A and B are shown apart, each in its own frame.
Chain A
Amino acid sequence: MSIHATSFETLELENVARSFGGQNALRNLNLSIRSGEFIALLGPSGCGKSTALNCLAGLLPLTGGRILMDGKQIDRLPPEKRGFGMVFQNYALFPHLSVEKNIAFGLEMRKVPKAEIKKRVAEAIELVQLGPHATKLPGQMSGGQQQRVAIARAVVLRPPLVLMDEPLSNLDAKLRLEMRTEIRRLHQSLGLTTLYVTHDQEEALSLADRLVVLRLGEVQQVGTPQDLHEHPVNWHVADFMGYRNLLEGVVERAHGEAVTVSVLGTTVTGSAQVPLRAGDAVKVGLRPEDFDIAPAGTAPAGLASIDATVEVVEYQGREFAVEVRSDAGKPLHVRTARHVEPGQRVTLTATQDRVLVFPAELASAPDRAPQLQGAAL
């Protein structure tokens, strides 16, 4: 196969920053991308994901920091000289050109010989399984097909780095799953290096080798999906990693990692993610699947427990998504295989290591930056 990524050793982002009229959209982005990696940039809408991607592609000039490819500074190069492949959220296919011509565009710009263009375009079309649609215009195709064209157009150039900006967000749920697998397959079979932007944690977790979580233009945490899922550094990352229950509380006692927190009118023992002292305001993070749910009065003694009433039960395949209201009036999300009925009184328990306790205040960037850089390298 002739489509193979041209390669680099490492791509370093050093304190990359971008502001718009004094407003920081992106601050101190430090990241080291190794060849062949799949990295997901994850964060809520408006947190600076697209800004980061456009800075890397060269579509936005940096207002701070540097980008180095194998030690060579590339952040002054215009996008047409950087040669990174980019897949846009709205596909950005040329509406007046057929699928073939769209895919051939980049090769023509590079003055690749005609015969080779033909061969490589045919190969790329084959790769994304669009054979019967080669001569159609983009407007005559479905969203999923258009996105395939966009991906083929980017990878046919064998770019050292492929940038994808929420490529699946305009597709319906089923297609999204299909395309997700497709993207991962292409990444592996072509040996691509991919930077993938999304606001969907599930997508990020399932695709990426490493995740970068952004908030308000600042990196919160960099790590493998497992790292982030098990050990989020703060409640914001936890929120993104599926800790849907974030409860405000106050530390009562602290013994090293084990802290007892008063929350929802009861006390819960959890593990502190940073050193905490009695009296600290905290947020307690719990994933729906980490709760044990039992009819009231039958919970094993000794564990911290929360009394509640079942409100909504949704059947979701093998499990139930249950919404309960605690006696203190706060709704909680629980996933369980146990069958419960709306209106039923229940007791929720969770083991100490799955109850994560974070400071309520999100630390500011400067004191965390060095630590993150370490994490990235």
Chain B
Amino acid sequence: MTMTGQRPGRAKQGPANRPALSHRLAERGIDKLLLLLLPALLFALVLFVYPFVYGLGLSFQPKTGGLFGAYVKFFTDPSVRGLDSIWVTLQLALPAALLNVLVSVPLAYKMRGKFRGKRALTTVLVIPITLGTVLTAEGLLNFFGQRGWLNRFLGVLGFEPLQLVQNYWGVLWSLIISGFPFAFLLILSYLSGIDPSLEAAARTLGADWKQRFRRITLPLLAPGLAITFCLTFVLAFSVFPSAILVGDPSGSTRVIAYVAYNAWGQQFDYPLASAAAIVMGAVELIVIVLVLIWRSRMYKGSTGGKG
């Protein structure tokens, strides 16, 4: 073989024939296709980054109390009771997210294969996604309310009516109903991503279904569970409409979003409202980081058969 051309490695060093700019950019993964990202970037900038930075700035400009005045007020002012609202929200969002994940896992596990009526069942399970929080709240009131079906039925049987809405349980229910479809669909898709021949292999090696689930499926699913938990948690943590409609916004379901709304719409204290929103984001971030730290200790490579 004869070689007349220069080796590519050499060509790079000689300034006379450096590769074209487009080639050097392509080497770093930059090409014209990236321009397609521009609209999305613009969108994110206008709708997300700008309001966030603006809100952050606002939260450090209270009328009184200096740079951190709004935050001090949020945490210490007895009329705001910010710390309480964080606890209230966490007490709603954590169990709701956890329960949604825990209920979805066995359901999705049972439904990962093909079977008759799978589509119909999936549809029923996912319908709450299309409902939206207000409709869900209305349904809950109709069913669980003072004069709802359940209590009327209990009344006929001679029982005392149960207080299931306008309190903590009403909001928790609504969070579970609206969060479940997300958790279920996500986990179902994570499960479908696990090569079924892994379970078949485990079977031929003598593992019963419990062992297969614990030793194979669960470890491979864990990273997906972490992500699902984070997403449903964030959804639940920003609970607002249902806290008012089926909850007790002045007491047991006085969630952080409600505090922010109150500061903004009732007291016209924009810095305080911004501070509440920033604290809300910070708490979400802390929970997500904790979950991701747990996840980083797990295997998280491919879940296909080739490893």
Contacts and interface: CB of A to CB of B under 8 A. Distances in A.
Interface of A: 57-59, 78-80, 82-86, 88, 90-96, 105-106, 109-110, 137-139, 141, 143, 146, 153-154, 157, 163
B5 interface: no
Contacts of B305: 88, 90-93, 95
B215 A91 contact: no
30 contacts: A58-B204, A80-B204, A80-B207, A80-B208, A83-B206, A88-B197, A90-B197, A90-B304, A90-B305, A90-B306, A93-B307, A94-B198, A94-B202, A94-B216, A95-B198, A95-B220, A95-B302, A95-B303, A96-B220, A96-B301, A105-B205, A106-B205, A137-B307, A139-B306, A141-B307, A146-B306, A146-B307, A154-B204, A157-B205, A163-B204
A139 B301 contact: yes
Q: Which of B198, B204, B305 has the most CB of A within 10 A?
A: B204
Interface of B: 195, 197-198, 200-208, 211, 215-216, 219-220, 298-299, 301-307
A101 B203 CA distance: 16
B211 A88 contact: no
Contacts of A79: 200, 203-204
A216 to B, nearest CB: 24
Contacts of B220: 95-96
A96 B220 CA distance: 7
A169 B217 CA distance: 27
A79 B303 CA distance: 22
Contacts, number: 95
Given A90-B197, A105-B207, A139-B301, 7 more contacts: A59-B204, A79-B204, A80-B203, A92-B305, A95-B304, A109-B205, A109-B206
A93 B216 CA distance: 10
Contacts of B197: 88, 90, 92
Contacts of B200: 59, 79, 86, 88, 92
Contacts of A157: 205-206
B304 A59 contact: no
Nearest to B196: A92
A84 B202 CA distance: 12
Q: Which of A84, A90, A141 has the most CB of B within 10 A?
A: A90
A51 to B, nearest CB: 13
Contacts of B206: 80, 83, 106, 109-110, 157
B201 A86 contact: yes
Given A86-B201, A88-B200, A105-B215, A139 B307 contact: yes
Given A85-B204, A109-B211, A92 B195 contact: yes
Contacts of B201: 86, 88, 92-94, 153
Nearest to A81: B206
B207 A95 contact: no
A138 B301 CA distance: 11
A143 B305 CA distance: 12
The 7 closest A-B pairs by CB, nearest first: A138-B307, A96-B299, A106-B205, A95-B307, A109-B206, A92-B201, A90-B305
B306 A91 contact: yes
A83 B220 CA distance: 25
B219 to A, nearest CB: 5
A59 B306 contact: no
A2 to B, nearest CB: 18
Contacts of A92: 195, 197-198, 200-201, 305
Contact of B219 (A59, A90, A96, A153): A96
Nearest to A101: B215
A120 B302 CA distance: 28
Contacts of A110: 206
Contacts of B298: 96
Contact of A57 (B204, B216, B302, B304): B204
Contacts of B215: 105
B7 to A, nearest CB: 27
Contact of A91 (B211, B299, B307): B307
Contacts of A163: 204
B302 A139 contact: yes
A57 B202 CA distance: 12
Nearest to A86: B204
Given A90-B195, A92-B195, A105-B215, A138 B204 contact: no
Contacts of A109: 205-207, 211
A227 B58 CA distance: 89
Given A92-B198, A96-B299, A78 B203 contact: yes
Contacts of A96: 219-220, 298-299, 301
